């Protein structure tokens, strides 16, 4: 094999590697789904009260996770490329558990700020973990912006109930729009 053939082969391998990585990226669906669920959670808080939020996520979190698992398996089969799911599952379970723990812990300890601002920090940390798994700078940037929101609301002294609703609307909208843009930009929604 001469130098030209070797260079051409390496270029082909690199192109296939990039295509496989692109085929594996699929955060658009989880972002859209959980963005929509988060917007619904704001409606739950406003209409039913914050006491119902934990129950909502106790049902919506696992149901959303199951929908994502089904979507991911179908997508991987259709594309013929697969990746280990353990990191994604562990991160998702940690997000739901962390949010429920901080939300109910804040209520039990009578620290409403913990209930209001703790879960959004957990979600942002989880998005950083997903960004690392996806090797996505844009997802990490989204997580950074979302991490700044509860810190700013807390620093400004926003009342916890209002902070919960504002965080849910902001997180939901950013995730929903970000997921749609992410899917359209890299074609991963196909």
**CA dist 5 → 10, 13, 17, 90 (Å):** 9, 12, 18, 44
Instruction: State both tokens at 108.
Output: 């039990």
The Cα–Cα gap between 34 and 32 comes to 6
Res. 173: pLDDT tops 60: yes
* pLDDT recorded at residue 35: 96
Q: What is the pLDDT of residues 72-130, one digit of tens each?
A: 888 878 877 677 788 999 999 999 899 999 999 998 999 999 999 999 999 999 999 99
* pLDDT recorded at residue 20: 44
Q: What is the pLDDT of residues 28-61, one digit of tens each?
A: 999 999 999 999 999 999 999 988 998 999 999 9
The Cα–Cα gap between 168 and 165 comes to 5
The Cα–Cα gap between 62 and 164 comes to 21
**Domain ranges in the chain?**
32-186
């Amino acid at each position: 094999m001469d130098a030209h053939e070797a260079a051409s082969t390496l270029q082909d391998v690199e192109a296939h590697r990039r295509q496989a990585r692109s085929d594996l990226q699929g955060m658009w669906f989880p972002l859209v789904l959980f963005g929509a669920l988060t917007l619904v959670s704001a409606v739950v808080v406003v209409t039913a009260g914050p006491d119902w939020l934990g129950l909502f996520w106790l049902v919506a979190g696992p149901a959303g996770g199951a929908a994502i698992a089904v979507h991911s398996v179908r997508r991987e089969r259709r594309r013929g490329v697969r990746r280990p799911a353990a990191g994604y599952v562990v991160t998702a379970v940690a997000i739901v558990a962390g949010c429920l723990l901080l939300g109910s812990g804040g209520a039990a300890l009578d620290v409403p700020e913990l209930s209001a601002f703790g879960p959004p920090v957990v979600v942002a940390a989880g998005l950083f973990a997903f960004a690392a798994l996806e090797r996505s700078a844009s997802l990490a940037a989204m997580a950074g912006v979302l991490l700044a929101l509860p810190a700013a609301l807390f620093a400004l002294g926003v009342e916890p109930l209002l902070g919960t609703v504002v965080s849910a609307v902001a997180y939901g909208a950013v995730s929903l729009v970000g997921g749609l843009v992410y899917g359209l930009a890299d074609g991963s929604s196909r």
